[in-house]
Amino acid sequence: LKKIRTVHLAEIKKNGGHFSMLTAYDQYTAEIFDAAGIEMLLIGDSAANNVMGYETTLPITMDEMVVFAKAVAAGAKHSFLVCDLPFGSYEISPQQAVESSIRLMKETGIHAVKIECDERHAETVAAIAAAGIPVLAHIGFTPQSEHALGGYRVQGRGEEAAAAMIHTAKTLEEAGAFCVLMEMVPAEVARRVDEALTVPTIGIGAGNGTTGQVLVWQDMLGLRSGRMPKFVKQYAQLRPIIEQAAQAYKTDVASGAFPAPEHSFD
Ligand code: KIV
Ligand code: NA
């Protein structure tokens, strides 16, 4: 496996290929996904939901993102690492966004940052790019704006909204984004955005017309219970495996079968 860089992601699009991204928040998942050849790992602010147990992504802090990003960087050798700028760390000014991005780059070993944005953030994207930091623009449904957007809903439906989304994506590409991620966008609209841009795109709930795909690993591997969003495909069911193992351990401890002599010191 080679070390993935932005040029490789651009090449994949040029050659008509596709790449994969998964979230990761710790060393071992990073190590496993990296060894599997997943081109990009996202230290998502979805750690708020998937690790910390919050209802939304709003409460997670820069200090917390730094911890997760360091752990992922320790486990990954080849994957291109992208870290979310959490809510409150970039909205106030381009300067604040650059300061937050520099902190993540200096303290953690990630390779790029991602911000949830629309065309109003073009200046912010440009400022981060000008600092020499690859910036990924997340458009469509942006969970940090859940309350402004009126909940989890598909974005870019209808010709007017579709045209606006293409315009937004082009504006952010021109501002310097190396990649555009779309969440919960009609498949046809996301395909048109990908066609309109030179830089690669990534989709989640955006059909198969984007350059890359991303999923949250706890959804994809069945660690989380409950109803999954429509866009999730589960490739494994880890939750029952872990639960059964925990029960087997408890049974062994209760019966005295564990620890056996081979687990014990003379
Ligand atoms: O934080 C996250 O996991 C994300 C992906 C859903 C794109 O932003
Ligand atoms: Na995110």
Omega cis (within 30) before 200: no
pLDDT at 184: 98
Measured by CA distance, the residue closest to atom 1 of ligand 1 is: 44
Which residue type occupies 201? T
Q: Is the CB of 44 under 6 A from ligand 1?
A: yes
Segment 3-42, tens digit of pLDDT: 999 999 999 999 999 999 999 999 999 999 999 999 999 9
3-state secondary structure of 22: strand
The stretch 54-64 carries a mean pLDDT of: 98
Domain ranges of the chain: 6-235, 238-266
Total length of the chain: 266
The stretch 91-95 carries a mean pLDDT of: 98
Q: Under the phi-then-psi rule, with left for phi > 0, alpha for psi from -120 to 50, and beta for the rest, what region is 132?
A: left
Domain topology for 6-235: TIM Barrel (3.20.20)
Buried b (16+ CB within 10 A) or exposed e, 25-63: bbeebbbbbbeeebbbbbbbbbbbbbbeeeeebbebebe
Q: Cα(210) to centroid of ligand 2, in Å?
A: 18
Bridge partners, 43 (sequence order):
83
Instruction: Please give the backbone phi and psi of residue 85, each rounded to the nearest 5 degrees, phi first.
Output: -85, 120
Segment 252-261, tens digit of pLDDT: 999 999 999 9
Segment 166-207, tens digit of pLDDT: 999 999 999 999 999 999 999 999 999 999 999 999 999 999
User: Are 139 and 180 a contacting pair, CB within 8 Å?
Assistant: yes
Q: Annotated binding residues for 3-methyl-2-oxobutanoate, as ranges? A: 45-46, 84, 114
